[in-house]
A and B are shown apart, each in its own frame.
Chain A
Amino acid sequence: MAGNSTEYIKHHLTNLTYGELPAGYVRHGEHGQEVLTEATWTIAHNGDEAQAMGFKAIHLDSMGWSLGLGLLFCLIFRAVAKRATSGIPGGLQNFVEIIVEFVDTNVRDTFHGKSSLIAPLALTIFCWIFLMNFMDLIPVDFIPSAAQALGLHYMKVVPSTDPNITLGMSISVFLLVLFYSIKMKGVGGFAGELALNPFNPKNPVLKAFFIPINLILEGVTLIAKPVSLGLRLFGNMYAGELIFILIALLPFGLQWMLSVPWAIFHILVITLQAFIFMMLTIVYLSMASEHH
């Protein structure tokens, strides 16, 4: 653990970044300075190096944990599905059936179009985001200490605290929304919806006058959807993780008094955020698939 509080906090908020440091970059290490003679692909030793890596850097810990958790979800559900019996279900099958039925009910109530993609997508989103958020309940120092013993200096285990992951998911949902909009309404219909709502006068001259205003208003609404979807999940998880880290700085007895109520509240937040992401996905896709 680092000496003072700010270092500890910053250490726990830094991702394990793998990227290319440019030629001529000066690395400051325990063994003194090292000037890189050529561009090297390496793991960043601190935040400044991660910054210098630019756009091509990748967060190994977020990618690893998110892919691993996704794989875990797929394997468990697939195993249950292959061994499913129509008799009285056992424990795990019961649990999976509850989740699938829950998602199915929500999709059935909210989605007014016809698509075989929406329910599996909603199930994946709900379970994957819940699993990623659930990593936040593991005590802050457990896995990073183990990783430190293996030589990895940074390890953030909650992928949804990485805006790359949450915005990646929300932008994918946004692309699906665009795809369904154009598929159901056609390019002309979609453009018409953007240009002729909310002001749609009968007079053609006034109609043309209002088109730029409509485009601005509808454009803002359209862009606000993926941005708010991604940032909502990121903000909730980042704030939760930060509070856990701050509680970890307190003396031991005080830690337990604060962390238990916060962790219990956080269980609600985790589930709620996964549910909200799923519901909003279904609602946006439903709005995109309806045609007049």
Chain B
Amino acid sequence: METVIGLTAIAAAILIAFGALGTAVGFGLLGGKFLEGVARQPELAPQLQVKMFIVAGLLDAVPMIGVGIGLFFVFANPFIGMLAK
């Protein structure tokens, strides 16, 4: 029982950590490219900003799903239910 809980905690931590890592790097690259583009052509700033937010939303999806699954395992762990039966 303790093993299952401990391993679930580690699994949730890995889920959230790798999602955060990937997204952080992705957002950094995205922001950097945006700033470069705006520095080259300042008149495109509003358009580029809109498109940046669109890509940011797409990037956000996968770690959010990971966080959702991780939190699900922490608070409503199905493995414990399986153990009881």
Contacts and interface: CB of A to CB of B under 8 A. Distances in A.
A200 to B, nearest CB: 27
B1 to A, nearest CB: 16
B58 interface: yes
A241 to B, nearest CB: 10
A276 B58 contact: yes
A25 to B, nearest CB: 16
B53 A235 contact: no
Interface string B43-84: 000000000011011101110111110010001100000000
B64 A235 contact: yes
B58 to A, nearest CB: 7
A6 B65 contact: no
Contacts of A9: 75
B64 A239 contact: yes
A143 to B, nearest CB: 21
Interface in B20-58: 53-54, 56-58
Main secondary structure of the interface of A (DSSP, over half): helix
A232 B76 contact: no
B68 A235 contact: yes
A154 interface: no
A239 B64 CA distance: 7
Given A13-B75, A13-B76, A272 B57 contact: yes
State which size class the interface on A falls in: 20 to 34
A231 B61 contact: yes
B75 A236 contact: no
Contacts of B71: 238-239, 242
Nearest to B53: A272
A85 to B, nearest CB: 30
A215 to B, nearest CB: 24
Contacts of B64: 231-232, 235-236, 239
Contact of A10 (B56, B62, B75): B75
Contacts of A275: 53-54, 57
A228 interface: yes
Which of B53, B61, B75 lies at the interface centre, i.e. has the most chain A CB atoms within 10 A of its CB?
A: B61
B56 to A, nearest CB: 8
A239 B67 contact: yes
A231 B65 contact: yes
Contacts of B75: 6, 9-10, 13, 242
A234 B67 CA distance: 11
Interface of B: 53-54, 56-58, 60-62, 64-68, 71, 75-76
Query: Which 5 A/B pairs are nearest by Cβ-Cβ distance?
Result: A276-B57, A235-B64, A232-B61, A235-B68, A235-B65
26 contacts: A9-B75, A10-B76, A13-B75, A47-B76, A231-B61, A231-B64, A231-B65, A231-B68, A232-B57, A232-B58, A232-B60, A235-B61, A235-B64, A235-B66, A235-B68, A236-B60, A238-B68, A239-B67, A239-B68, A242-B75, A272-B57, A275-B57, A276-B53, A276-B54, A279-B54, A279-B57
Given A231-B64, A272-B57, 19 more contacts: A9-B75, A10-B75, A47-B76, A228-B61, A228-B62, A231-B61, A232-B58, A232-B61, A234-B68, A235-B61, A235-B68, A236-B60, A238-B68, A239-B71, A272-B53, A272-B56, A276-B53, A276-B57, A279-B57
